[in-house]
Amino acid sequence: MTPAELATAIHAIVSAELGLRGGSVTVSLDDVTLERPKNRDHGDWALNIAMKLAKPLETNPRELAAALAAGIGAIPGVAGVDVAGPGFINIRLDAAAAGSIAKSIVDSGEAYGRNDSLAGQSINLEFVSANPTGPLHIGHTRWAALGDSIARVLTASGAHMVSEFYINDAGNQMDNFGASIFAALTGEPTPENGYPGEYVADLAARVKARYPDILTLGRNEGLAIARETGYELQLADIRESLEEFNVHFDVWFSERSLHEPDDSGENAGTSAVERAIDRLRAQGHVFEEDGAVWVRTTDFGDDKDRVIRRSNGVYTYFASDAAYYLDKGDRGFAHKIYLLGADHHGYVHRLKALAGAAGDDPETDIEILIGQLVSINGARLSKRAGNIIELDDLREWLGTDALRYSLARYPADSPLTLDPELLTKRTNDNPVFYVQYAHARTHQVARNAAESGIDHGAFEPELLEHETENNLVGLLAEFPRIVALAAQLREPHRVARYLEELAAAYHRWYDSCRVIPLGDEPATAVHRTRLWLNDAAGVVLRNGLRLLGVSAPERM
């Protein structure tokens, strides 16, 4: 019996009890929350529905729990029900009902763990969004790993989800970037506010390879070519770095496009930025003062009003932010999530106020996650960039799997220092090795079973009676709830910590229960049933690692 099947049966019993008691109180399936008791002596599942409903029903929670327990005890596969404390309902399944989850998991395969807890939600998740003026660094590495893992758990929980990279390709930094490349071409010093590092010289060489006669052109034309070609090459390098890191973006959105006039349709001749100001003005939140155009964001909790167009006619970064936010809504995204770096705390009130000025609810329609800094003991600054630690260098040094797993293993808001000596160890002290080894072991057991003639010809879940089997079965049943919780809280580290607990339970089971008979002992139904359990553990470990962007090797 799966947790979903049990919850559905309990929901019917609770609804029937509410009908008997009369009144207007109703209950949805989402209200039936099954949790694993910390002490397994208390049963397989715990339920607090009686305490939720006692107040609106104006009744004693223990009395309600006792009434519900009588019905729950009659559900096929339920071996016992107890009422504990102020009104908890503890449920114990018989071995057959509990163990049946193993076959369900194997039959479901990659689909196991997916759930519909966020079905109907349309979410735009923006992360990394680095300037295309240099290689990705260690900070981007953390946001890439976290953002991509969040995207994966959101998708697995049924959300319509789009991951988006906002390309900061407008503004003075692009001119400074082009001037730096052109200076490298001509042998001039790096200009003030320019970009140093060997990567600029490398870009200059690549630009010259594409345009051999660039230095024979006028300076303005040469600068333009250096800027645009350097931008194209650097952005391609960023894309490649992220793909090598198993990070995929559905949309790459150019800031420049917000400032370019549309060339057709009803908006022809106007830019998204201009239209954004008009829309905010229509909402009643735009005013003019000292020749500048302002948005009254203080009406929505911002610490000051924001200039959207300066008195000289130049648009501010806030103008791009406003146009971009409105564009996301126009594309159908009711909920927008921004994952920003530790130095972007000032953006929180600004973006929430912008949502309010746009007519959205700042408390529900926009979500801003601030990631903290990460450091790695012994990491050296990039020789190419000169002043940063590059993502590509980290990946080549530590490996994608170790880096992705370790960065997703901690909450985004916790500062993090990684130990490269630990991450490169092939021992159980290394969390990613420990989990991957458990997965590889499930495949080794399956290969050995096949060689011994043990197949899936029998499945008798009532035979899974050993203590380690009960524990393993219980943890396997938890996986969909863990995925849903990770998605709801935007905390993929919950998946990583769950996988470590599952790996430990699997290793204990492996040490205690044999899939392959000893010596001349004949293979029986219990061995074949245990093969199902072994393979179910492999499915869940593999599915969980996939949510973190980490590989699941079959041999180690």
**Axis-axis angle for helices 3-21, 49-57 (nearest 10):** 20
Percent of the chain predicted with pLDDT > 90: 81
Provide the mean pLDDT of the chain: 93
Residues 6 or more apart whose CB falls under 8 angstroms from that of 208 comprise 185, 214, 215
pLDDT bin (cut points 50, 70, 90) of residue 309 is very high
Residues 439 and 524 both lie in one domain: yes
Mean of the pLDDT values across residues 267-275? Answer: 92
* pLDDT for 224 beyond 70: yes
Measured CA to CA, the distance from residue 530 to residue 102 in angstroms comes to 9
What pLDDT, on a 0 to 100 scale, did the predictor assign at position 160? 97
pLDDT bin (cut points 50, 70, 90) of residue 343 is confident
Q: Which of 192, 224, 244 is the last residue of a domain?
A: 244
* pLDDT for 387 beyond 70: no
Residues 195 and 217 both lie in one domain: yes
Measured CA to CA, the distance from residue 106 to residue 528 in angstroms comes to 13
What pLDDT, on a 0 to 100 scale, did the predictor assign at position 300? 94
pLDDT bin (cut points 50, 70, 90) of residue 187 is very high
Domain-embedded: residue 398: no
Residues 154 and 210 both lie in one domain: no
Mean of the pLDDT values across residues 305-316? Answer: 95
Residues 150 and 299 both lie in one domain: yes
Q: Which of 221, 244, 267 is the last residue of a domain?
A: 244
- What is the per-residue pLDDT across 315-342, written as a single tens digit (0 to 9) for each? 999 999 999 999 999 999 999 999 998 7
Phi-psi region of 283 (alpha: psi -120 to 50; beta: other; left: phi over 0): alpha
Longest CA–CA span in the chain (Å) reads 93
**Axis-axis angle for helices 49-57, 61-72 (nearest 10):** 130
Percent of the chain predicted with pLDDT > 70: 99
Domain-embedded: residue 99: no
- What is the per-residue pLDDT across 475-503, written as a single tens digit (0 to 9) for each? 999 999 999 999 999 999 999 999 999 99
What pLDDT, on a 0 to 100 scale, did the predictor assign at position 413? 87
Can you tell me which residue has the tokens 């160890």? Answer: 425
Residues 315 and 342 both lie in one domain: yes
Domain-embedded: residue 52: yes
* pLDDT for 265 beyond 90: no
Mean of the pLDDT values across residues 38-61? Answer: 89
Q: For residue 477, which of 64, 218, 91, 26 has the smallest C-alpha distance?
A: 91
Domain-embedded: residue 518: yes
Domain-embedded: residue 114: no
What pLDDT, on a 0 to 100 scale, did the predictor assign at position 380? 66
Domain-embedded: residue 107: no
Token duo for residue 122: 């349309």
Contact 148, 549 (CB under 8 A): yes
Top-confidence residue, 378 or 500: 500
Residues 522 and 536 both lie in one domain: yes
What pLDDT, on a 0 to 100 scale, did the predictor assign at position 520? 83
Specify which of 245-254, 337-346, 415-424 reaches the highest per-range mean pLDDT. 245-254
* pLDDT for 354 beyond 90: yes
Q: Tell me which residue range forms the domain holding 219.
A: 172-244
* pLDDT for 386 beyond 70: no
Residues 161 and 181 both lie in one domain: no
The CATH number of the domain where 336 resides is what? 3.40.50.620
Specify which of 34-43, 90-99, 248-257 reaches the highest per-range mean pLDDT. 248-257
**CA count, 13 A, side-chain hemisphere, 519:** 2
What pLDDT, on a 0 to 100 scale, did the predictor assign at position 291? 95
Residues 142 and 212 both lie in one domain: no
What pLDDT, on a 0 to 100 scale, did the predictor assign at position 109? 97
What pLDDT, on a 0 to 100 scale, did the predictor assign at position 381? 59
Contact 142, 154 (CB under 8 A): no
* pLDDT for 385 beyond 70: no
Residues 366 and 512 both lie in one domain: no
Does the pTM of the predicted model rise above 0.85?
yes
Sequence letter at residue 282: A
Domain count, the chain: 4
Domain-embedded: residue 361: yes
Residues 161 and 177 both lie in one domain: no
Residues 74 and 140 both lie in one domain: no
Measured CA to CA, the distance from residue 257 to residue 170 in angstroms comes to 9
Domain-embedded: residue 213: yes
Measured CA to CA, the distance from residue 115 to residue 94 in angstroms comes to 25
Cα–Cα–Cα angle for 386, 392, 395, rounded to 5 degrees: 130
Residues 74 and 212 both lie in one domain: no
- What is the per-residue pLDDT across 102-129, written as a single tens digit (0 to 9) for each? 999 999 999 999 999 999 999 999 999 9
